Amino acid sequence: MPLKGNSSSALARMQGKFTINIITRCHEWQRSHGSQGRYPTISIEGSKRPQYVHRVAWESVYGPVPTSPCPDGSHRWELHHSCGNHNCVNADHIRLVTHREHMRIHSELRAAARLAEAA
Ligand SMILES: [Zn+2]
Ligand SMILES: [Zn+2]
């Protein structure tokens, strides 16, 4: 798939910073020591704030996350890790979902996790 926009420099910065898990195919980001928070971030030229690495990876393949209104009335589009590994930056493992859909997916995942614990 052709690269869109000026994402090639962002991709170049990602090179060598993740390892590929041969079982799950996750591209696991190598976190720097002491990094906090849920998702790893990366500094990108021309942008003031660090960007989420999984978002940079997704956008480098599929283009910018849309800012258009969501069909279900959600206030924004979000990216969901279908592999459940928040360190993963494999665009194939990341799905574009609406905020509402995302909340639903995670409440179902939590319910499934509770069932698994109870079993
Ligand atoms: Zn993954
Ligand atoms: Zn998610």
- Torsion angle (degrees, nearest 10) of CA 75, 91, 26, 29: -80
1 band by pLDDT with thresholds 50, 70 and 90: very low
Q: How far is the CA of 38 from the centre of ligand 2 (A)?
A: 11
Distance CA 78, CA 36 (A): 21
Q: Is residue 14 part of a domain?
A: yes
What is the span of the domain harbouring residue 95?
A: 8-118
Kindly state the average pLDDT of the residues 80-108: 96
Number of separate domains in the chain: 1
Q: Is residue 17 part of a domain?
A: yes
Q: Is residue 76 part of a domain?
A: yes
Q: Is residue 1 part of a domain?
A: no
Q: Is residue 3 part of a domain?
A: no
9 CB-near residues (< 8 Å, 6+ apart): 44, 45
Distance CA 78, CA 119 (A): 32
Q: How far is the CA of 54 from the centre of ligand 1 (A)?
A: 10
Q: How far is the CA of 116 from the centre of ligand 1 (A)?
A: 21
Residues 74 and 100: beta-carbon distance below 8 Å: yes
Residue 111: in which H helix or E strand, if any? helix 99-118
pTM of the complete model = 0.82
Q: How far is the CA of 71 from the centre of ligand 1 (A)?
A: 27
Closest-approaching ligand to the CA atom of 110: 2
Q: Is residue 59 part of a domain?
A: yes
Mean pLDDT of the chain: 88
Q: Is residue 64 part of a domain?
A: yes
